[in-house]
Structure 1
């Protein structure tokens, strides 16, 4: 019904327009000051100055006709009502029906849109006034259905249901709780610490020496940090010193090999330094790799030349799985060997190494001791990097393989402190360092002289992977320091005894 009413009113308006168009009466609209209309096409101004007399021909006649239609439509419609509807944005958009009429001018099209909007609005108002009761009934019905839906979805349990739930029997454990009582731990801190010490002494038989009064406690400020394990750290390092004595590397252990020599070993480890850099592995992985190679070559005699590289990449493969968060794939190690071996070869060698070493890789590495000694010396990061450089050079050198990791670390940090500080060795190697390392200056002095000789001759050596590695700015370029070519290191290398 509403649609039919709109069509009738639209037809009536079009008929009126056609009637006025056929009469061809020229009507000049009067000027109204300050009257503007804002429509869908922009802001329009009705103060149009018409100088129709100047124009001649069809253009003048056509303009007069369109002006006449616009003025008639504006007079027929309540202008205040149209103005309010358009200003409030209620004028309908895109309501012009397609027709065969020619396109209207801007003033005429806007007026027609406004008139049609007013007609539809009035018709809608009449319909709503005629059927108020029907609207109320539909609204009430909609509200009632929503209330019913809410009641169905949000039904709360009654008081009776809550009581029944409380009366339900509690679940019964299938297993007895006798064993659970043994899991109780005493809240007394003293008893807990005593239990921990008893367990630690039973398992490892650790008898950590007590701290003398004149020695600084370097762990005193770390009791609030659980990551530094200040409660157990002294016992841990004492246990590591026992492990390095349990798994020693004998001096000149390659004498049992018929093919492999010290130079071949140095060439292998120098190449593994490049592999470590290429894969961006941590330094712990490299140190553990060298330890696995030395232990395996010491246990297994008659390793052939074509198997040495396989032993090296397999040892790094095992060490990377032991130390790295994301270990390289076995295919990566096959690639670095230029496909000289297959994945099956590496897996078979891995089984052989693990079996021969008794599934134990607990032998400590020099880097673990080095960190402890740098802390005891209150050294800088530069001291630490230089000491790591010395240790890595020693790992490549076959003549240094039989020294304990702690012995190499103590000698390296002492030499680093001596070269960078310029102080005498007696002042550099303090009683605190001697206590925490377990070595006196007389113990580490021969190793320091050997390290100094290796550093001086590194530029003449064929194995320069470690030297090139420590030219990196992230490692403070310690291999290029001027102190490594100064008088102090030459005197140390050429002297027989410093004490």
Structure 2
């Protein structure tokens, strides 16, 4: 994970092509405000995101030896004595109804002592035996070879092919340090449903600002880790979300939105000073530990191991389906509390392959790069498919709308994997 440039809180200029957002920095005046207001009040000019040589054949003159060992020894003895090998016998067969044989040409046939020219024919019993083994599944199925997914990036310096395996081994070892603990029982004023509402709103804000994908995953990671260390009243839950996204933007984005942008998009529910105070509180509780392996870093790697087609349409469909299922799981508290980021990422790939009816569902390549078998992923994958089947009817539709659009291959509209549904 590469660290981004950190921008000052008081930065006065937005990134290129973004219109200046009018500041509505109104202090709390006793009016009751609704939390998680519609973010449609922010109008921004959207900026677009960034011949082969033939092999040399070696001609080898091979001599066919007789199968009979005695003949071999005789041939060797004759060779020592200088005796010439006997030439193949020629048999002349004359077939004619006429005794005189007139008008009939002789037919000659050469017979060599090197054995008959007929191909070996399998017996009927051996064929039946082979068929019975195939029917009973006793035959060894060909093993899928492991594919080196980094071979195509050997000349890409940014892919760091020499170190990428070591990097992900380190991610797997250290992911538990940044993993979310089960904290909901320690929060007297909030519950899992409120957290889902907050994540749904943050997903919409993330999309409205056109932020990097890493920013969303780091934002939710910061929210969960802070809530696991600090009791937060219900009225400040959205403030925690805003401040967490401010921190994630400074870490991941090149041109981060200003604090006033987040104040305005939350319908001035909080003052700018409140956001800055909460930001400082969050960083203090997390001890400035922001470089954590989030769900995103595993998704990128496992999607790469899953793609076997060269067609861009199929690649986009697989990638979007994996991210759709992962973000559905990210929005649900039980998934993030029960499973590590690497398991959620691998389960999203497994569920996506089931949904798109890929065969085989799980390959040796995926098992090698993820480190998980099908049995280890099936329970989490069933949860993700369950969320997919309920997404269309859910009131929280930010993720569903996001992945229903054509630019996301419309994967949210596909039929969930029936094999994983109860």
TM-score by length of 2: 0.62
1:24-173 pair list within 5 angstroms: none
1:428 aligns with 2:361: yes
Q: Distance in 1 between matches of 2:299 and 2:282?
A: 27
1:460 aligns with 2:393: yes
CA RMSD of aligned residues (A): 1.5
Shift of 1:422: 4.7
Match of 2:348 in 1: 412
Structure 1 residue aligned with 2:203, among 268, 273, 282?
A: 273
Match of 2:294 in 1: 365
Structure 2 residue aligned with 1:374, among 279, 284, 303?
A: 303
Shift of 1:214: 5.8
Q: Distance in 1 between matches of 2:419 and 2:154?
A: 43
Match of 1:477 in 2: 410
1:306-345 pair list within 5 angstroms: 306-345=235-274
Shift of 1:378: 2.3
State the 4+ residue runs in structure 1 displaced beyond 4 angstroms.
none
Greater mean deviation of Cα atoms: 258-267 or 238-247:
238-247
Q: Distance in 1 between matches of 2:164 and 2:264?
A: 41
Shift of 1:459: 2.0
Secondary structure (helix, strand or coil) at the match of 2:353 reads helix
1:9-54 per-position Cα deviation (integer Å, ceiling 9, x unaligned): xxxxxxxxxxxxxxxxxxxxxxxxxxxxxxxxxxxxxxxxxxxxxx
Shift of 1:215: 3.3
1:411-453 per-position Cα deviation (integer Å, ceiling 9, x unaligned): 1111111221353xxx221111111101111110000111111
Structure 1 residue aligned with 2:226, among 270, 285, 296?
A: 296
Q: Distance in 2 between matches of 1:453 and 1:243?
A: 29
Q: Distance in 1 between matches of 2:390 and 2:333?
A: 15
Q: Distance in 2 between matches of 1:221 and 1:473?
A: 29
Q: Distance in 2 between matches of 1:225 and 1:490?
A: 40
Preserved contact between residue 273 and residue 466 of structure 1 (Cα < 8 Å): yes
Q: Distance in 2 between matches of 1:461 and 1:451?
A: 14
1:340-360 per-position Cα deviation (integer Å, ceiling 9, x unaligned): 111111111111000100101
1:231 aligns with 2:162: yes
Q: Distance in 2 between matches of 1:448 and 1:247?
A: 22
Q: Distance in 1 between matches of 2:393 and 2:194?
A: 17
Q: Distance in 1 between matches of 2:397 and 2:304?
A: 29
Larger radius of gyration: 1
Q: Which runs of 5+ in 1 are unaligned?
A: 1-212, 495-499
1:490 aligns with 2:422: no
Structure 1 residue aligned with 2:374, among 434, 441, 456?
A: 441
Shift of 1:224: 1.4
Structure 2 residue aligned with 1:260, among 184, 190, 207?
A: 190
Decide whether aligned partners of structure 1 residues 409 and 305 sit closer, same or farther in structure 2, where only a CA change above 3 A counts: same
Shift of 1:245: 1.6
Preserved contact between residue 243 and residue 362 of structure 1 (Cα < 8 Å): no
Preserved contact between residue 203 and residue 398 of structure 2 (Cα < 8 Å): yes
Q: Which runs of 5+ in 2 are unaligned?
A: 1-143, 309-314
1:58-92 per-position Cα deviation (integer Å, ceiling 9, x unaligned): xxxxxxxxxxxxxxxxxxxxxxxxxxxxxxxxxxx
